[in-house]
Amino acid sequence: MSETAARDAHLLALTGIDRIDALQEAVARLGECDRVRAAQLGREAYMLATQAGDELRAARCLLLLTALGLPIVPGEATDDDLRRALSHLASAQLLYDDLTRQLHVQADQLARSTQEDLLTGLASRRAFCETLALSFRRARRLNYPLSVALLDLDDFRRVNEAFSYAVGDEVLRRVAQVLREQCRSKDLLARYGGEEFALMLPGIGAGEVDHTAERFRQAVEQYNWSMVRPGLRVTLSVGVCSDLPSTGHEGMLALAEEKLLEAKQAGRNLVRG
């Protein structure tokens, strides 16, 4: 028998108390002390909030007490105390339900925002780049034509300053709608940045991409923007790339960005490829 076991046996013989049982009882008593103290502090906070007329704070105190499984009022509470506590408990439940709904909405929005631009409903930049990376590898492997276009609104800051940011947001939504109407089912259109859009065109190579991009440019230019605001005019510049460089889809986007800069420097409202 080990020395520890011998001491335990001696203690049990002298007192009738098992050491392990005694330790477990001590831990349980400490836990109960913590619960009593938590209940005391929680009730004090609840009563102070009630006296101050702070319904929201009182409801939060009750949420804490009920989450800990603690009684919300002491045993000597009056009927009025109980009625008040029940009223606040109902408020606490409403608060909890409302917070839960808000958390679910925020979680859904966060999940959507990684794949979808919330203002325009288009694909997000992240979703676009992920899809382009896959399509790029497939196009390289199969020697399949693939083009990308970057489309940037011209003088968009002027739209915000002259007409308001609300009008600017509406312009972005309308541009997204106009561009979407020009897309085939297999094209991918995304909001790439603030006033910049990205377009992936599978099956379209160097011989067609300029003409295709020109169709998108004209659709935006010819839209009846006076329906949004009298005197409003919206155009965009486009840079395209049909090369499949060794630097991957990032290199393809970089080449399209260079062509977009050329279109801007050449006077805007142009396609360069």
- Residue 116 annotated among the catalytic residues of the structure: no
Cα–Cα distance for residue pair 228/140, rounded to 1 Å: 43
Domain boundaries defined on the chain: 3-113, 125-272
Strand order in the sheet with 196-202: 188-191, 196-202, 146-153, 236-241, 271-272
Report, as an integer, the average pLDDT of 70-84. 52
* Run of H or E including 201: strand 196-202
Query: Which CATH code fits 125-272?
Result: 3.30.70.270
Q: Which of 25, 55, 181, 195 is catalytic?
A: 195
Which string of b and e fits 28-37 if b means at least 16 CB within 10 Å? eeeeeeeeee
**Residues 16-42: tens digit of each pLDDT:** 556 555 555 555 554 555 555 555 665
The secondary structure of 89-113 as a DSSP string is HHHHHHHHHHHHHHHHHHHHHHHHH
pLDDT per residue over 102-125, tens digit each? 777 777 766 666 789 989 999 999
